[in-house]
């Protein structure tokens, strides 16, 4: 089965490498990279992703952080192919309105500088136990992305309004980080309300839990779907 991996707001797909390595040959993993050009709103990105995975082959979609609303759109909008959805440390409505409002108002280069500092990543997006190499790798990855694309994607998160109404008909898995400082634990209720067939697992780590604990996240996904 294909496993479509939708990344955080870096949009590169590169941060999935340790997770993919832990999956082994359980899935045909396909990390998606978002184009830095063109619209960065969720509807436009979802259309681009569907164009990229054209064909009739079924798949499971995994959305990390920024990509939760994208995974939701594929799960509800591509019922003939999407067989399951995995939501990792993510949300369906704006998780941090004040923070995103401030970041969205800053110059693009200032935002890029902020999110590409290892100490910032470690402070707000990882647990205290995280390996320093993980923070450095994540920061370097964000530093490789065009500043304007980063800011536009942050504004896309900030534009999320009310909870969508359409239920997800396919089986869903939610991986929630135990020390997520960016997405309130209360947002899990949104997935419970829209995903009748939902399994929830908590994994020790910060917001970038799939990078901090790739082996545990891979174990959960393989046990559920392989």
- pLDDT given at position 60: 98
With beta carbons less than 8 A apart as the criterion, state whether 29 and 60 touch. Answer: no
* pLDDT tens-digit series, residues 71-86: 999 999 998 999 999 9
- pLDDT given at position 216: 97
Band (103; pLDDT cuts 50, 70, 90): confident
Beta-sheet strands, E only, within the chain: 2-6, 28-31, 59-64, 82-88, 172-177, 198-203
Contacts of 95 (CB under 8 A, 6+ apart): 157, 182, 183, 184, 187
CA-based end-to-end distance of the chain: 8
Q: Computed from CA positions of residues 197, 8, 115, 202, in that sequence, does the dihedral angle turn out positive or negative?
A: positive
> Quick one: average pLDDT of 32-61?
93
Q: Is the pLDDT of residue 43 over 90?
A: yes
Q: Is the pLDDT of residue 50 over 90?
A: yes
Supply the mean pLDDT for the chain. 94
Q: Is the pLDDT of residue 48 over 90?
A: yes
Q: Is the pLDDT of residue 104 over 80?
A: no
Q: Is the pLDDT of residue 23 over 90?
A: yes
The percentage of the chain sitting over the pLDDT mark of 70, rounded to a whole number, equals 100
């Amino acid at each position: 089965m294909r496993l479509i991996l939708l990344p955080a707001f870096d949009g590169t797909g590169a941060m999935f490498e340790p997770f993919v390595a832990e999956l082994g040959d359980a899935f045909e993993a396909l990390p998606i990279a978002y184009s830095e050009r063109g619209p960065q709103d969720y509807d436009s990105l979802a259309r681009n992703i569907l164009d990229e995975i054209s064909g009739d082959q079924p798949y499971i979609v995994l959305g990390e952080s920024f990509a939760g609303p994208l995974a939701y759109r594929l799960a509800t909008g591509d019922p003939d192919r999407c067989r399951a959805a995995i939501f990792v440390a993510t949300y369906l409505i704006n998780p941090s309105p004040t923070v995103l409002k401030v970041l969205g108002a800053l110059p693009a280069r200032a935002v890029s500088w902020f999110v590409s500092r290892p100490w910032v990543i470690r402070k707000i997006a990882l647990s205290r136990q995280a390996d320093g190499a993980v923070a450095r790798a994540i920061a370097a990855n964000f530093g490789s992305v065009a500043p304007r694309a980063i800011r536009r994607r942050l504004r896309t998160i900030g534009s999320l309004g009310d909870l969508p109404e359409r239920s997800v008909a396919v089986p869903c898995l939610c991986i929630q980080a135990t020390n997520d400082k960016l997405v309130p634990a209360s947002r899990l209720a949104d997935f419970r309300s829209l995903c009748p067939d939902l399994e929830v697992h908590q994994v020790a780590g910060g917001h970038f839990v799939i990078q901090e604990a790739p082996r545990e996240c891979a174990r959960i996904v393989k046990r559920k779907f392989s």
